[in-house]
Amino acid sequence: MGVISYLSDKLINLVSALGTERDKAAGSHYTLVPLTEHQAIAMYRGSWLARKIIDIPPKDATRRWRGWQADSAQIEKIEAEEKRLQVRLKIKEAMTKARLFGGAAIFIGTGEQDTALQLAPERLGAGGIRYLTVMTRRQLSPTEIERDPQSDRYGKPKAYRLAGSAIDIHPSRLVIFVGAELPDEDLLSGYEQGWGDSVLQSVLESIKQSDATMANVASLVFEAKVDIIRLPEFMNNLANDPTYKERVLERTQLAATAKGINGTLLLDKEEEYETKQASFSTLPDVMDRFMQQVCGAADIPATRMLSQSPAGMNSTGDSDMRNYYDRVQASQELEITPAMSVLDEALIRSALGTRPPEIHYVWNPLWQATAKEKADIGKTTADTIKVLADAKLYPTDALSKASANLLVELSVMPGLEAAIDDVGPEYPAAGPDDLPDDTPST
């Protein structure tokens, strides 16, 4: 029975050519052509699609930034330190270069001479971070790969060497960003180890196809209207009369000049004139399909990539943008936060001189609510605070501070904390002497 089944399968495959050498897809295979840095730069500078694919996610990931959870005075010092060191700008720059070149890092400059040693944030005091420097993979080459399975850096470089020098930098002194992660470090060359691919590597063909389609459509515009003039015995006269070519060119130029001036074309009775017009009715659909392919390959919705309103009835594009913002938020939590863990510990100590354990931060939501949504949020928040106050589940002072912080974080009353500082933490309660004379006292 097994033999019959085997022969039956083989006969079916032979007849249909599926899975055999006759199958047209049998010779298809994937070949990787690495994108060089010069090609990546040329694409970034010459193709607006490539530039947007590189620039948009880092800008969105750092646009709303993060909100520190601490006392007002502590938040002011931390934010001032971030501003002094330009942390937000450096993170965006490093992410952009990592997406373009496959990897980049931020060097945490503390003034220590031996950068090969691990950075210990607990040894830093106020102003401990002196500067932050963005470096690409060209400036940082990986050294020996860690092979100890008990190390948290297994399969990653033990250190990075500064190009053109013998200076080694410990990974803890770097905020490392990788473009497109590679599947297996052991299958890579020395230059690729410790880094990744350019984001443009996997979308290269889609960008080429889209740019080529747009270029061909633009070229077709010049052929939208073609004038055709039929001349009697044209080919015969062209072959036998050497002066016929010059006379024909002079004749057509005169006809075109007359048509351009008077709108009237003068022709011989035996000559014929016809106009051919190209049809552009289906080209927008073709262009949109190629553009959608690029947006899908880049994982950026068309509403964000093209900065245009979504097409179709009752289409708002909200779901596409929410999904995209969820992806950016996942990148913030899974990539940016771990990469900045050492920097954040050093940043807090550099700003405050100490490290209070309760200080942390949350990423601000990327989705910006409308005026009506903000009003609804404010009303809902106020109702929640009133219910908690009436229930008397929490101390009044604690609830007041938490409520003020919540209203500020939700942008319902942005200036509330400053107003409280000006007026005072507590409002004076009205005593018996403050009541009017005609008011009965208890």
Whether 251 maps to a domain, the answer reads yes
Q: In terms of domains, do 43 and 192 share one?
A: yes
> What is the per-residue pLDDT for 23?
60
Is 344 inside any structural domain?
Answer: no
The SS3 assignment for 169 reads strand
> Quick one: 75 and 159 in the same domain?
yes
Are 192 and 137 within 8 A, CB to CB?
Answer: no
How far apart CA 201 and CA 180 sit, in angstroms, is 9
| pTM (2 d.p.) | 0.74
Q: How far apart are CA 97 and CA 361, in angstroms?
A: 25
Same domain, yes or no, for 54 and 176?
yes
Within a domain: residue 43? yes
- 84 with 112, same domain? yes
The confidence score (pLDDT) of residue 90 equals 97
Asked if 352 contacts 77 with a C-beta cutoff of 8 angstroms, the reply is: yes
Within a domain: 302: no
Q: What is the pLDDT of residues 101-131, one digit of tens each?
A: 999 999 999 999 899 999 999 999 999 999 9
CB 409 within 8 A of CB 374: no
Retrieve residue 300's tokens. 């950026």
Are the C-beta atoms of 223 and 283 separated by less than 8 Å? no
Query: In 3D, which of 145, 240, 229 has the Cα closest to residue 192?
Result: 145
Judge whether 115 and 168 are in contact, CB under 8 Å: yes
What DSSP string describes 360-372? EEEEPPSSPPPHH
In this structure, the number of other CB atoms found within 10 A of the CB of residue 61 comes to 20
CB atoms within 10 A of CB 332: 20
Q: How far is CA 421 from CA 378, 385, 416, in A?
A: 22, 21, 9
- 176 shares a domain with 269: no
User: Is 8 among the domain residues?
Assistant: no
> What is the model's pLDDT at position 187?
66
- In a shared domain, residues 41 and 126: yes
Residues 138 and 251 grouped into a single domain: no
Domain enclosing residue 113, as ranges: 37-201
Is residue 167 domain-shared with residue 48, that is, in the same domain?
Answer: yes
CA–CA gap between residue 295 and residue 274 (Å, rounded)? 42
At 260, list the tokens: 């351009």
Q: What is the predicted pLDDT for the residue at 24?
A: 64
According to DSSP H, which parts of 17-137 are helical? Answer: 37-46, 48-63, 72-85, 87-101
Residue ending a domain, choose from 153, 173, 201:
201
Residues 73, 135, single domain; the answer is yes
- Do residue 162 and residue 197 come from a single domain? yes
84 and 42 in a common domain: yes
Q: How many domains in the chain?
A: 3
The secondary structure element, H or E, covering residue 273 is strand 272-277
Q: What is the pLDDT of residue 418?
A: 66
pLDDT at 8: 46
Burial 63-72 (b: 16+ CB within 10 A, else e): ebebbbebee
From 143, 175, 201, give the residue that closes a domain.
Answer: 201
pLDDT for the residue numbered 360: 92
Q: pLDDT in tens for each of the 442 residues of the chain?
A: 444 444 444 444 555 565 566 666 666 777 788 888 999 999 999 999 999 999 999 999 999 999 998 888 999 999 999 999 999 999 999 999 999 999 999 999 999 989 999 999 999 999 999 999 999 999 999 888 888 888 888 888 899 999 888 899 999 999 999 999 888 766 665 556 778 899 999 999 999 999 888 888 888 887 777 777 787 887 888 888 888 888 888 877 877 777 765 566 666 767 777 777 777 778 888 888 889 999 999 999 988 898 776 654 445 557 888 889 999 999 999 999 999 999 999 999 999 999 999 999 999 988 877 777 778 888 888 888 888 888 888 888 888 888 887 887 777 776 676 677 767 655 444 444 444 455 455 4
**Same structural domain, 92 and 127:** yes
